[in-house]
Amino acid sequence: MLNSINSFNSVSYNSQVGSVGTENSGAVQAKGVEINYNPQDELVMDPQVISMPSIHAGKGTLEGDNVQFVRKEQLEPNKDGQYVYTPGTREFVSSVTMATVQKTIDAMSEKFGKIEWAFGGDKIGLASDAGVDFNAYYSRNDASLNFFHGLDPVTNQTVFSGSSGEVVSHEVGHAILDAQRPGYLTTWQADTNGFHEAFGDLTGLFMATQSDEVCAMAAKETGGDLHKPNCLAASGELLGRAINNSYGKNVTGGDYVRNYINDFKWQAPRTVPRNPSGTDPLTTEMHSWSRIFTGAQYDVMAGIVEKKMADGMDAAAAIKAAGNDSMTLLAEAVKMAPQRDVTYRDLALLMLKADANNGGEYHDIVLNTMMDRNILFEGDDTPNDMSMASMAPSREMTITLNGPEFGKFAGAEVTGTVPGGFNALDSNPADGLAQDMKQLIQNGCILYTEPNQTVEKKDLFDKDGHPYIGVVRWTDGKMVIERNMMIG
Ligand SMILES: [Zn+2]
């Protein structure tokens, strides 16, 4: 979820977390529950109480159709049989996190069909509070979503990342994209990694727009002009404020983790610095780089709202419809997208194609928005003639890093993808991959390990509490840099 600047506590990971569901106590009753849910953020609105047929009670806990606690989190209903608790309590965090994960899966399944997890199995694991940190992450290796807590030093409030709908849906978005395109967690490319983060944010945005209460609030804030500041554009408000209060300065740009109102434009990633990952300027650190695509897609949604209002819809209804339609476009694009690597341009072209397949209602909105962002260019406006050759599948390539510029990583073998399409600008793809690795190594994004070192889970996070992008593994005396299958 976070920028790497945001997380300053070392990760407190509970090493006892085992495989999913090992301590769950068997089958639970097949009936839905009344439960807390907050599609936005605690700082913006109070939690709702909703009925969820896809979550079931029994054996002193809850379990969803597609999610279960990694270790049993004890939950008993109140006298009315509801799983409704006081915000800030352990029971509240457990239940609201469970509700958000399952509700996000339910809504995204309508776009993608049944979710086949990248890690196999029917249910994703959930640790609603895995220790002290201002953080949250998805781990394919552990088949789980992990949330944490930290103390806001100014308000003295304990902030749980699992209690923000936007933060939780973001992490579920990672897991859902990983299910659709597992190759995207094996790449070193800036656009593909940035898209993973953008997809998380856009999943949170979509979920927020599907709440009538949130749409009414955003309509009131903006009158339907989503370029004005509003609760939809700002994500993770409570967590963002706690982070800023902890730093004693405004590191995220406001009381949020990220804000989708921006005017960042795409440029060739290798011409942009990798770090630092702060709010400004734009870097190729994945959360930073994601803001180009998220901002563009947010603008597409804003354009759809404008169109619907021009057609006579009221602002709140237009926001809800636009949230749904823009996620449909994105999901249809992902279903057609290349398997291993994707560029922002590929995705924008595929959204045009998806829209054309659906009657072409939003063609001009998508095209003009993406051209404003330097994601699409003149000549990209005829989806029927669109050259799918520009999305030629990436090739896999293994190289050995040679040269003093790689320091202790010299001699390491690394497998990466070489873009097959529009971005295949390298006359020598191996050099391009080596150049990307050099940038990642020099910016501390790859964890070095010794040949006989036991690598524990906590080692896979950098000093800012962020998962390293890659890690050195030793196989038969050979150094290999592997992609870390965790993403925050
Ligand atoms: Zn993320």
Residue 355, phi then psi, degrees to nearest 5: -65, -40
Kindly indicate the confidence band of residue 11, based on its pLDDT and cuts at 50, 70 and 90.
very low
CA distance 249 to 252: 9
Residues 119-160 have pLDDT tens digits of: 999 999 999 999 998 889 999 999 999 999 999 999 999 999
Taking the centre of ligand 1 as the mean of its atom positions, its distance from the CA of residue 319, in whole angstroms, is: 24
Residues 256-312 have pLDDT tens digits of: 999 999 999 999 998 888 876 667 789 999 999 999 999 999 999 999 999 999 999
Taking the centre of ligand 1 as the mean of its atom positions, its distance from the CA of residue 170, in whole angstroms, is: 6
Kindly indicate the confidence band of residue 201, based on its pLDDT and cuts at 50, 70 and 90.
very high
Q: Nearest 5 degrees, angle CA 277-CA 283-CA 288?
A: 60
Taking residues 316-329, what's their average pLDDT? 98
Rg, the chain, Cα only: 22
CATH topology of domain 184-390: Neutral Protease; domain 2 (1.10.390)
Q: Which CATH number fits domain 33-169: 3.10.170, 3.90.1310, 3.30.60, 1.25.40?
A: 3.10.170
Name the segment(s) of the chain with CATH classification 3.10.170.
Answer: 33-169
Query: What's residue 389's pLDDT?
Result: 46
Query: What's residue 249's pLDDT?
Result: 84
Name the pTM for this structure. 0.92
Taking the centre of ligand 1 as the mean of its atom positions, its distance from the CA of residue 51, in whole angstroms, is: 28
Kindly report whether the peptide bond that precedes residue 281 is cis, defined as omega within 30 degrees of 0. Answer: yes
Query: What's residue 391's pLDDT?
Result: 63
Q: Which amino acid is at 147?
A: F
pLDDT score of 23 more than 50: no
Q: How confident is the prediction for the chain on average, in pLDDT?
A: 89
- For residue 480, give Cα distances in angstroms to 397, 415, 438: 13, 9, 15
141, 186, 164, 195: which is closest to 92 by C-alpha?
Answer: 164
Taking the centre of ligand 1 as the mean of its atom positions, its distance from the CA of residue 434, in whole angstroms, is: 25
Name the segment(s) of the chain with CATH classification 1.10.390.
Answer: 184-390
pLDDT score of 22 more than 50: no
- In which region does residue 113 sit, left (phi positive, over 0), alpha (psi from -120 to 50) or beta (all else)? left
Q: Which of 158-172, 355-369, 383-397 has the weakest average pLDDT?
A: 383-397
254, 234, 117: which is closest to 172 by C-alpha?
Answer: 117
Counting Cα atoms < 13 Å in the Cβ hemisphere of 186 gives 18
Q: Which two tokens stand for residue 22?
A: 């090992």
Taking the centre of ligand 1 as the mean of its atom positions, its distance from the CA of residue 433, in whole angstroms, is: 24
Nearest-10 Cα torsion for 94, 198, 288, 470: 80
pLDDT score of 55 more than 90: yes
